[in-house]
Amino acid sequence: MHTPVYAAIGYLFLLLIVRSLKRRPGAQMTPFEFVLIFLVGGVIILATAGNDRSMTNCWGGVIVICLMHRLTGQLKQRSRKLGAIIDGTPVLLLSKGQWQTRDMKAMHIDDADVMAAAREKGLKTLDQIKYAVLERNGGISIIKKSE
Amino acid sequence: MATTSAPSQTKPVEDSIAKVNNEFAVGSDPEFQFRWERFESIVWAILIIFVLLSVAGVFGRGPAAKSRLQASDGSLQVEYERVQRFGAPSLVRITFPASSVQNGSLQLWVSESLIKALGAQRVIPQPAESKIDNQGILYTFPVTTGSGLVEFSTEPLSIGSSQIAFGVPGKANVQAKVFVLP
């Protein structure tokens, strides 16, 4: 009986927690983020399903979570502001040879993270980067300097 | 045969994404980001306070949740958790002085809320007799010598506030308030 309500509250709570984490787990998945995702997921499921591990109860929880996800997606699409609250906004990390140090510190990103993303683009040194942006999904986009 | 297809919907591409240095469409919003960081700090402060209160037992299962009540005539003492959690096991411990034992047995009356709200699962020791009595249950425990201890293990079944009462027949009752968190 409680599962649908707990699932909805759990969804919103996890959304807030994950969004409040500086570096969003997603594109740049390290063991550090794996620990977080598995442990948080494992703990929240205990509170959601409780002692009732029946198929009826668990399916109810899954459906509510999917409905919440769909509803959130629709609301995001209607309001850009809500989209920014839920997903965040891209953050500029490097612009024309200048590190954006305040934002990097705020997002817990360092030059090694940017270089890791640059290597994926085939770049060998940081000075080949024109812009680096921390995307909403946690990945870092690199725009290289033109030759 | 005529076929129908969904009308295509299009709109012209506009320059709707905010640019950096007037050349790079990033869509960043430094002002929003700054406000969000302040909000995040508040969220984390609240979460840390929540954890500290939780460790202290304000939300049950800790020192701050434990309570002890004594009947005005000293006929029994109740130790319990005033804040409990839905479906989480807890203990209600009732101790009696030797003066509460009469004719080799001890009688304990508990309100039915102990079963309805707190979901009493088990009572230790096993009572010799239990019967429904005055919106509660009257237990009779055989006692060989001296004072006694009775424990109820509970597992709350409903969320919210409830009141439980304990008493030795003919003596003062003890009223305990319990709040069950989700």
The CA radius of gyration of chain A, in Å to the nearest whole number, is: 19
For the sheet with A129-134, list strands across it: A98-99, A91-95, A129-134, A140-144
Question: Is residue B99 predicted with pLDDT exceeding 90?
Answer: no
pLDDT band at A1 (very low <50, low <70, confident <90, very high): low
Select the residue of B24, B30, B86 nearest A143 (Cβ to Cβ).
Answer: B24
- What is the rounded CA–CA span in Å between residue A113 and residue A55? 43
Mean pLDDT of chain B: 90
- Asked whether residue A93 carries a pLDDT value surpassing 90, the answer given is yes
Beta strand B120-124 with B148-154 is: antiparallel
Q: Which residues of A touch B40 (CB under 8 A)?
A: 20, 22
Query: Among residues 52-81 of chain A, which lie with CB inside 8 Å of chain B?
Result: none
Query: What pTM value is reported for the model?
Result: 0.79
Cβ-proximal residues to B104 (8 Å cutoff; 6+ apart), any chain: B142, B143, B144
pLDDT value, residue B6: 79
Half-sphere exposure of A68 (CA within 13 A, CB side): 19
Q: Tell me which amino acid residue B132 is.
A: I
Query: Each residue of A14-40: pLDDT tens digit?
Result: 999 988 887 654 566 677 777 888 888
What's the mean pLDDT in B11-35?
88
